[in-house]
Amino acid sequence: MADTGAGRFAPSPSGQLHVGNLRTAVLAWLFARSTGRRFLIRVEDLDRVRVRAGAEAEQLAELTALGLASDEPVLRQSEHVPRYTAALEQLMARGLAYECFCTRRDVAEAASAPHGRPGFYPGTCRSLGEDERARRRLERRPALRLRSAVDSWTVEDLLAGRVTAPVDDLVLRRNDGVIAYNLAVVVDDAAQGIDQVVRGEDLLDSAPRQAYLASLLGLPSPTYAHVPLAVTAGGRRLAKRDGAVTLEDLAGQGSSAAAVLDEILASLGLPRGSLDAALAVFDPGRLPNHPWVVEPAVLFSTAAGPACTPSVPTDKVSP
């Protein structure tokens, strides 16, 4: 396929995908295909604490069951740590990273102080002297934070419009040595030629941070589209604890993967039947701008078709 840019879906292998995750994957595929881009799947598995054995295979099987396959071998972040380290060393060499000894409690307390900003790191360790840093290293291994030169950054989102959000001294490498999400995702998107990022709107505020970090590394910033989430009837973000919301659970209740895909497409105002039929009429400007309320007992109680438990095609699991 010609190099015309790419979109991606990048789950963390912490468990089975629920229908809200799968809806976002469908949207990422539709956005990519409708603009002539490649569609890539990336496994974000740097945080080994969150990774569950077998989850990657389950997730790839679930995506395959809906007809979503990567146009290139699946990339796993855990196999590309050297390139994140190289980016971090580039920032350090330019004086754009510093050691931080704060605990999560320290950060939370600073943010809740009278002049604190919720969720915003106030730069507590930014100006520590070398003697003080040396003393603190004996007590706690430091994280590395970005020495930001801005308070905010602005991006254009295809659905949300112009978005300006705070940019603080975000973590680049955790104190356990794991490269932080914001750095890894910026480096990966550039390395893979991903110039279109479609994901849930809960990540909208992170886009300016990532775009700013990309600018410091001399990397291009992708086009963003943050899509509405799937929520419960009470308005809470959908989670696997909300009942039969995974393909596997729904299969056990008699709903086929094709029937689940139909409900996802219907929730987007697109024709049921197939991804290709939906693609033929896909128009981002006509997508619903409100969350998808998921009530499994209602949505999937009449889903037709034989139950379909996803199986993993071996040619889609390993690069």
The pLDDT averaged over each successive group of 10 residues in the chain (319 residues) is: 81 96 98 98 94 96 98 97 98 97 87 69 93 95 97 96 95 97 98 98 96 98 96 90 89 93 96 97 96 84 45 37
- Please tell me the total count of domains within the chain: 2
Question: What's the pLDDT score for residue 110?
Answer: 77
Annotated binding site: 8-12, 44, 100, 102, 121, 125, 181, 199, 240
Annotated binding site for Zn(2+): 100, 102, 121, 125
Annotated binding site for ATP: 240
Quote the pTM value: 0.90
Residues 66 and 166 in one domain: no
What distance in Å separates the CA atoms of residue 237 and residue 59, rounded to the nearest whole number?
20
Annotated binding site for L-glutamate: 8-12, 44, 181, 199
Helices (H) and strands (E) in the chain, counts: 12, 12
Q: Is residue 312 part of a domain?
A: no
Q: Is residue 250 part of a domain?
A: yes
Residues 74 and 91 in one domain: no
Question: What's the pLDDT score for residue 288?
Answer: 95
Residues 174 and 93 in one domain: yes
Residues 73 and 88 in one domain: no
Q: Is residue 298 part of a domain?
A: yes
Question: What's the pLDDT score for residue 1?
Answer: 41
Q: Which domain holds residue 167?
A: 81-189
> For residue 313, is it left (φ>0), alpha (ψ between -120 and 50) or beta?
beta
Query: Which CATH number is 111's domain given?
Result: 3.40.50.620
Residues 47 and 94 in one domain: no
Q: What φ, ψ does residue 287 adopt, rounded to 5°? A: -70, 145
